[in-house]
A and B are shown apart, each in its own frame.
Chain A
């Protein structure tokens, strides 16, 4: 077989072009983004669970300087207004757009395991704080057969609460239609127009829906699953490895903010409480009355303790049971079982340093 000179040249040109293309496209994947000490913070849109972030940013709270400033941390919103759901935020982590973020535990688990997002859980944010809201005409869960329920996403806490409640009421999930992804605002709007028959959303939207007469609470999340773990603080491991001190200082601010919030809640007549409500009103765009009601339904805590870990492990177990995380993926990431996973994926070291120092 004789190859003429021209065809060899053509082949060489093609090969060279191919190699060049590979290099051009693969290079950004292989080279990291330029380092920056400003923390890009992710959170969920109008999610009152994440108010600690806004408290820690607020100068009035800290008496002239914010908690973040106090501990020397520069923060910026990773995306203005926040992400629509935890799964979207995890996608942003995967894309390298977020350094530290607030989100629900299930997406933090699922996307790390399935997609291999290089994150670690470093603190708690809250537990409970969601509710199942339905049309005023619906009185019990079995009436939701054949109806549509809105959730932020299929791997959100809210969805898990729905699964849990359905199981308890002996209703098969194949009898329920799911509408997602929905923002809190969309949930209320769709409930109002009748496009959906109910939703499971994070505060303040349940309270807001009740306040506006759009729907009623069929069950709060603590009714459904008492003390269920809700949101966590997640950090990008590369960022954490590069700037462990910043992460620790971030958590110092988070801890102080959480303490401040709980203190304010205990003293509803104080100016701190008013300030807390104002902060809530501002970033969720809901009325003060709604925020006050919503605050009562959320337990803010930062601790990584046994209660935290046991729900964490429970979530993980359920995910594997439902095959939302194929067991192959579990092994691929290097975990032997759910306990091993909780052990390795949750990193208390930063929190411990934040609290001791």
Chain B
């Protein structure tokens, strides 16, 4: 990629202590994320990929190690690290417009300016006409679009996405992947995208980071050189996909044996 290093994850270890149990989620994880890249993190269930993302977001703190954004240590959540959740996490009492506005209100941006920004992002995610709808009136795909618009509206440095399309049906999922790429290309954001679908990762990512089974650490990083838009049924696609699936299968078996 060759861009600047935006995020540095150094020797990250996370241990959860719950009652008597001690769970090592991540151990000695090192990773760099580069400006403008689309980086996917995949791994077996329970490998700690969501934990990793939450630590980068500042929602959890590491037991050992650190995360640096532009050279500064990350200690708590902030709008410069926007996040999109699998469960959408839209504020149900707020309309589409007001959901997207949320981060802008917190920044103290004046109403007229807010309106302008919101309009822009509504257009970006293709939700014109649904500005006044409440989340319960929206389909899952639309809800996730609102979530993406909301996270982007504050112009974050990085967009963290935790299995954002996991709750969608297969068709909507494919559509959303395409849309996401369009949005990404337009906004030129750095994206860290967690998923357990290899197909999804191969379709979307510039680089794919494979995590081991618990305790999670970086097993392998694969660069995906295929030009976009990628053909899911193409030879090149399979070529990248097959070895990844194998790597993943190994880790999945390890995870299953552990439990």
A and B touch in the complex (CB under 8 A): no
User: Taking beta carbons and an 8 Å cutoff, which residues of B are in contact with A?
Assistant: none
